[in-house]
Structure formats: C-alpha cells, structure tokens
Amino acid sequence: MAEGLDMEELLTAFKKFAVHGDTKATGKELNGKNWAKLCKDCKIVDGKNVTSTDVDIVFSKVKQKSSRVVTYEEFVRALEELAPKRFKSQSKDEALQSMFKLVEGREPTNAGVTKMSKTAAVDRLTDTARYTGSHKERFDESGKGRGREGREEIVENTGYVGAYRNAGTYDAKTKEK
C-alpha cells in the first residue's frame, strides 16, 4: 500500500468527490455518478484501456449488493481493480501507486459551466436606460431595481389625489391667513 500521507490525500479527494453536487452528503459514501466524475476528472478513464463502461462495472462489483454507494474501503478496492487495466505495462503494485497518484489531492472540476454572455444584443436588451413606459418606472436613475415599489402601485394615505401638484401645502396656506 501507499504511505500514510498519500492515503490522507486520497481520503481527502474521496471526501471532496463524495460531497460534490449533493447538499445532504456526509463525505463518507460515494455514489455512482460521483465515482464516474472522479474517474473522468482524474484521467483514470482514457478511452482506450479504461472506458466509462469499465468504471461502471467496477463500481457495481465493489459495492454491496443492496447499496447504491461505496465506502472509502470499497473505493480503494475499486482503484485496485482498475489499476492493472489502466497501467498495463507496470506491475500490480506500481500500477496501484500510479493510480493513487492520479487521484491524490484532486477536486471536482466544473468544466462546461455556462458563462454569462457578453454580446452587444444582450447589453442592449439589459440596458435599463433604454427602457420605456411602465418598465422604466421599475428602475432608478442608476439602473438598480426598485423592488416592490417599482412593480406595484403603493397607496399613500395622505388625503390628496394621486398626481396632485400642491400636495402637502394646505397647512402653509392656512397659516398665512
């Protein structure tokens, strides 16, 4: 087997992939989807010697019959099964060490995540200065949304009609007389 430090890094990688994409995951068990992601991200799947089908078959082999996840010990056994297949020219121990080195310290990647578009059409459509009509009232001068105030007609109980120009001047007029 590998040294203690290497096994710690392997355990860390296992935990990171175990919790990836699942808010309820504890990090103690790895599901099939995350196992396949680990194999792809760590370059265990090379397309020739090890394919995604091989990865799924090994996962099914090492997990408990009624379980849908693998523990850390089963994970290490799965790597042991894939090592000779991935590194055919090496001895079994060398292949296992090479396999551990592929996985150690790795984390899930977010390749293919959609990035925000920055085209002229998107800029034109999202420029709040160009809004007209009722949509213009939803934003202030800086382009920041006004929230509920911009969407709904909020009733002011001042006693004046909605668009009355001299609202709030009654007290000043009565004091003058």
Q: Which two tokens stand for residue 11?
A: 């355990």
CA distance 60 to 67: 9
Domains of the chain listed by start with CATH number: 2-103 (1.10.238.10), 117-153 (no CATH)
User: Residue 121: what pLDDT?
Assistant: 80
CA distance 35 to 59: 8
Q: In this structure, how many other beta carbons lie within 10 angstroms of the beta carbon of residue 7?
A: 15
Question: For 84-114, how does the pLDDT look when each residue is reduced to its tens digit (9 = 90+)?
Answer: 999 999 999 999 999 999 998 888 887 666 6
User: Residue 4: what pLDDT?
Assistant: 57
30 within 8 A of 18, measured Cβ to Cβ: yes
CA distance 90 to 5: 23
Q: Is the pLDDT reported for residue 3 higher than 60?
A: no
Chain-centroid distance, C-alpha 65: 31
Return the higher-pLDDT residue of 35 and 111. Answer: 35
Beta bridge partners of 93: none
Which ranges in 20-119 belong to alpha helices (H)? Answer: 32-41, 52-62, 72-86, 92-103
156 within 8 A of 145, measured Cβ to Cβ: no
The three-state secondary structure class of 69 is strand
Residue 26's nearest CA partner among 67, 64, 72, 60 is 72
How does residue 2 score in pLDDT terms, banded at 50, 70 and 90? very low
User: Residue 113: what pLDDT?
Assistant: 65
CA distance 159 to 85: 84
Question: For 38-79, how does the pLDDT look when each residue is reduced to its tens digit (9 = 90+)?
Answer: 999 999 999 889 999 999 999 999 999 999 999 999 999 999
How does residue 170 score in pLDDT terms, banded at 50, 70 and 90? confident
